[in-house]
Amino acid sequence: MNNFDELMEQYYGEPIDEGLGKTLAQGALGLGLAFSPIAGQADAKKEPQRIEQKVPKISSMQFINYMKKFIERNEGREYKVYNDTRGNPSVGVGFNLNRPGAEKTLAKLGLKKEDILNGQKLKDFQIDLLLTQDVAQAAKIANRFVKNYDELPNPAKIVLVDMSFNLGEGKLNEFKKLKAAIEKEDFDTAAKEMVNSNWFGQVGDRSKKLVRIMKGL
């Protein structure tokens, strides 16, 4: 098991994908998005050890596939409509049915919003296509959020992409103090700003795990 998988095991109970994790540690450049190892394995009951700045390079598709697994751990997978933490009707892995352009996106997969709201189940391939598109968009949003994105330690990028997926660009841009802290690479303050937000109390254990990763930097 590589060190990034050890970090994920610490927070989520098991590695996301041991084989893929090894590939990520050895892969090729893509999107300026990658993962950093930690220096040894931290006790799960203690603060995570400080994470090294080394940036292994991976392909953009490898990153997206890894983040899909990471985000699905946080969001869950639902085949029928459900209400998210803010009461929005959603389906799949956090696909908000009330978002702008939702009906057009669904139509490309032969789906209708009205049918889903009335209980139609999605198939796995439909959920996966929606998730791939949303993760790619979240990565772009995270990249725009801070001017030093490419120079950040990789776990900070992971936290930002997850938050981008969860919040969307408009809500993420309201985290002005978080943005300022990250651009100064003041990760302790960044973690505090994550805690001092309405978002922190809205998403349950997800926010606590992301804060612990940020504090580990």
Quote the tokens at residue 80.
């029928």
Residues 53-63: tens digit of each pLDDT:
444 455 677 77
In this structure, the strands spanning 95-96 and 78-83 are unpaired
Look at residue 101 in the predicted model and tell me its pLDDT: 94
pLDDT of residue 153: 84
Q: How far is CA 199 from CA 44, 113, 148, 172, in A?
A: 24, 27, 23, 10
What is the reported pLDDT for 59?
64
Q: For the chain, which residues score pLDDT lower than 70?
A: 1-59
Q: According to the model, what pLDDT value does residue 178 have?
A: 98
* 210/217 Cα distance (integer angstroms): 11
Task: Give pLDDT, residue 140.
Answer: 94
pLDDT tens digits for 185-203? 999 999 999 999 999 998 8
Domains defined for the chain, CATH in brackets: 3-74+130-215 (1.10.530), 78-129 (no CATH)
Cβ(28)–Cβ(58) below 8 Å: yes
Q: Helix or strand or coil: residue 211?
A: helix
Q: What is the pLDDT of residue 9?
A: 54
